Amino acid sequence: MDLGLSGRRALVCAASKGLGRGCALALAREGVAVTITGRNAETLERTAEEIRRETGATVTTAVGDIATEAGQAAALAACPEPDILVNNAGGPPPGDFRDWDRDAWIRALDANMLAPIALIKATVDGMIDRKFGRIVNITSAAVKAPIAHLGLSNGARAGLTGFVAGLARQTVRHGVTINGLLPGPFDTDRIRGNAGALAAKAGLSVEAFLEARARENPAGRFGDPDEFGAACAFLCSRHAGYITGQNLLMDGGAYPGTL
Ligand SMILES: NC(=O)c1ccc[n+]([C@@H]2O[C@H](COP(=O)([O-])OP(=O)(O)OC[C@H]3O[C@@H](n4cnc5c(N)ncnc54)[C@H](OP(=O)(O)O)[C@@H]3O)[C@@H](O)[C@H]2O)c1
């Protein structure tokens, strides 16, 4: 299927690794010129070069913390008029809400709610003027079913999801869609990082814990960032103009509900 994306420009946030990288790579494979962001310049440049080598696409980079105004300004300077915006940032740490003070909440809100909203605000009117835009927010399966030890994520991502639910209905008549992609367990550094404490609690090594978790999933495995990227590219395609305000769960069937 031709996704009709050749020649488009995309800003893919937090994309030097993991799910963001998967989205940038999938878009680049479709002939999109991508700008990727990340905090570590070396990792970011390495990823940019890998994507260029594999796809031949134009790949530019913007170093910075996307949760900050400076990081957002750097991203927008590198890609001022994207046709596609993929919002992403690292997830908040796990823990007990009794230990989180106001600053911990503000950090989570900045990264996982306010930064995406700021980037949408900076880019959506240009998309409306050009009569085409695709905004994909990488959130979490926690939006559909809360994850007990990830309360900061449950809260901040629900805030973003609620906000864009309203906006998505206002932009779609101008050719601009806004959707959420909700990852369940995907094989990235993040899942390994979060596994440490839970593995210790279960008396298992991180590898044994992750193997058991992967086996428990109805798919019998974790998701592959390439699969995640392909879904993102479809949501960004010309075929997806009638899909907006949706939250697509990608979890191998782990969510047990009928709907
Ligand atoms: N993987 C999963 O199973 C899963 C499940 C549910 C939700 N999620 C959520 O999906 C998002 C992506 O997760 P992932 O698994 O792809 O993580 P990952 O493998 O750790 O990759 C995170 C990427 O984001 C960049 N990054 C992190 N914080 C950033 C910031 N403040 N500003 C700019 N770049 C930043 C990292 O580069 P630098 O460190 O160099 O900045 C890296 O490129 C996270 O919010 C995560 O919580 C993941």
Tell how far the Cα of 200 is from the centroid of ligand 1, in angstroms: 23
Atom of ligand 1 nearest to the CA of 225: 16
Q: Is 39 in the pocket of ligand 1 (CB under 6 A)?
A: yes
Atom of ligand 1 nearest to the CA of 19: 16
Residue nearest to atom 24 of ligand 1 (CA): 14
Tell how far the Cα of 255 is from the centroid of ligand 1, in angstroms: 22
**Mean pLDDT of the region 139-150:** 96
**Mean pLDDT of the region 21-47:** 98
Tell me, rounded to whole angstroms, the distance of Cα 241 from its chain centroid: 19
Residue 245 has pLDDT above 90, yes or no: yes
* % residues pLDDT > 70 (the chain): 100
Residue 32 has pLDDT above 90, yes or no: yes
Residue 195 has pLDDT above 90, yes or no: no
Q: What is the pLDDT of residue 124?
A: 98
Residue 118 has pLDDT above 90, yes or no: yes
Tell me, rounded to whole angstroms, the distance of Cα 170 from its chain centroid: 22
pTM, two decimals, is: 0.97
Q: How confident is the model at residue 131 (pLDDT cuts 50, 70, 90)?
A: very high
For residues 94 and 149, the answer to whether their CB atoms sit within 8 Å is yes
Residue 142 has pLDDT above 90, yes or no: yes
Distance CA 4, CA 24 (A): 16
Residue 190 has pLDDT above 90, yes or no: no
Tell how far the Cα of 173 is from the centroid of ligand 1, in angstroms: 32
Q: What is the pLDDT of residue 194?
A: 80
For residues 248 and 231, the answer to whether their CB atoms sit within 8 Å is yes
Q: How confident is the model at residue 196 (pLDDT cuts 50, 70, 90)?
A: confident
Q: What is the pLDDT of residue 106?
A: 98
Q: Is 190 in the pocket of ligand 1 (CB under 6 A)?
A: yes
The average confidence (pLDDT) of the chain is 97
Assign domain 9-186+225-250 to a CATH class: alpha beta
How long a stretch of residues is the chain? 259
Distance CA 154, CA 135 (A): 21
Residue extents of the structural domains in the chain: 9-186+225-250, 188-222
Q: What is the pLDDT of residue 125?
A: 98
Q: What is the pLDDT of residue 192?
A: 84
What DSSP string describes 201-221? Answer: HHT--HHHHHHHHHHHSTTSS
Q: What is the pLDDT of residues 76-101, one digit of tens each?
A: 999 999 999 999 999 999 999 999 99
Q: Which residue has the higher pLDDT, 195 or 65?
A: 65
Q: How confident is the model at residue 198 (pLDDT cuts 50, 70, 90)?
A: confident
Q: How confident is the model at residue 61 (pLDDT cuts 50, 70, 90)?
A: very high
Residue 191 has pLDDT above 90, yes or no: no
Q: What is the pLDDT of residue 197?
A: 83
Q: What is the pLDDT of residue 212?
A: 95
